[in-house]
Amino acid sequence: MANSPLFSTYRSGENRVTSSLMAVFQRIESSLVERLLGAATGESALEMVTYLNQPKKDFDSIPDAYISAHFDYWFETKTTPNAVKLDQLERHVERLKPGVGNQYLFVITPDNVVPAAVVALDEPRVVWFSFRDLSNAIDGVVDTVGPFIGEHAQFLLRELQQLFAEDGLLDAADTVIVAAAVAWDEFLENGMYICQAERSFRPGLKYLGFYHSGQIEAKIAKILDQRRESIRFDESTVATLRQGSPIDQRIANAVETSLRKGPRGTGPYRVFVLSRTAEEGLVELAQPIKNVSKSSAGRTTAWTQGQRYTVLSRLTASEASTTDDL
């Protein structure tokens, strides 16, 4: 996989994936592991370490503080779809301790839906998620708290994503959906998506959509061009772009529009040039896709707060009307 020596000695298949996953989890903070597993599974109640001031419990003494860690997390990984067997899960569940809280068997597979064996077992301590779910969780964590988790942790997590991709454990995600409180109007105005220069995206993307006002908007744009080099938004850049290709002209127009509005700043920025018509490759969904994501407490949660990946065919499926359909 990627060039990290951390994964280079592992064999291919399930052993490599599981060993690599555990190697990364061992090298990052437990709070980050907790956050990743919670995001991948939707289990917001996961808690690996408890911090408590002045714990009372049933004792006469009250110390100033208390740190406790008690959990059992087991993992079963499969690198091929439809490979989870009920009898194997039943044997794994026998290892869980009766009456002990915070115990989970995490089943990780490349399947697009919950494996039948997990459904048949009907055990709340057995939680399935896909490698795609975990990769999306990594994207979400890096996007939202990346500056606070350190470059080394970010590097390891991105390397882990690359391993998943190289081993074919992620479906062919060809579409990125970006949070678009501002970007949606900007796309409608000039057919661009503009973001921070250092923002990273998976390779192989063909389409870009917008999560705006609680829904995925019906216009899914084909990516016509994405500049690898960052672009400064100033008059000098406009002058240079005016001497270039039709795509350069479009970027120049977007820079000029931004300069007239003022508050964005000079950048630099990363720029995606997007289709605006069917002739250019714009895809129009039958309707916007409503967000129905809920937390374990029943509260509505954003489908994405940064970027999230999916497959165009899922978006265009005739029955796709809510985010649960994806």
Could you tell me the pTM of the whole model?
0.56
Strand partners, 273: 192, 225
What is residue 243's predicted lDDT score, i.e. its pLDDT? Answer: 94
* Alpha-carbon span 110 to 178, nearest angstrom: 23
Angstrom CA distances, 94 to 72, 86, 97, 119, stand at 13, 13, 8, 17
Cross-strand bridge partners of residue 51: 67
Q: What is the pLDDT of residue 1?
A: 43
- Crossing angle of helices 183-190 and 246-261, in 10° steps, is 130
Question: 126 and 107 in contact (C-beta within 8 Å)?
Answer: yes
- How far apart CA 157 and CA 310 sit, in angstroms, is 19
- In angstroms, the CA 19 to CA 231 distance is 40
Q: What does the pLDDT read at residue 142?
A: 86
pLDDT at 104: 92
CB 49 within 8 A of CB 75: no
**Cβ(84)–Cβ(118) below 8 Å:** yes
pLDDT value of position 120: 96
3-state secondary structure 13-59: CHHHHHHHHHHHHHHCCHHHHHHHHHHHHCCCCCCCCEEEECCCCCC
* Alpha carbon 320 to its chain's center: 20
Question: What tokens were used for 91?
Answer: 């044997």
Q: What are the pLDDT tens digits along the chain (326 aa)?
A: 445 555 554 444 557 889 999 999 999 988 899 889 988 998 766 776 676 676 666 666 777 776 777 788 999 999 888 899 999 999 999 998 887 778 899 999 988 889 999 999 999 999 999 998 999 899 888 887 767 788 889 999 999 998 888 777 887 678 999 999 989 999 999 999 999 888 888 777 899 999 999 999 999 999 999 887 889 999 999 999 999 999 999 999 999 988 888 767 777 999 999 999 999 999 999 999 999 988 766 788 889 888 888 889 889 987 889 998 87
Establish how many alpha carbons lie within 13 A of residue 96's alpha carbon, considering only the half-sphere containing its beta carbon: 22
Q: Which two tokens stand for residue 233?
A: 């938004």
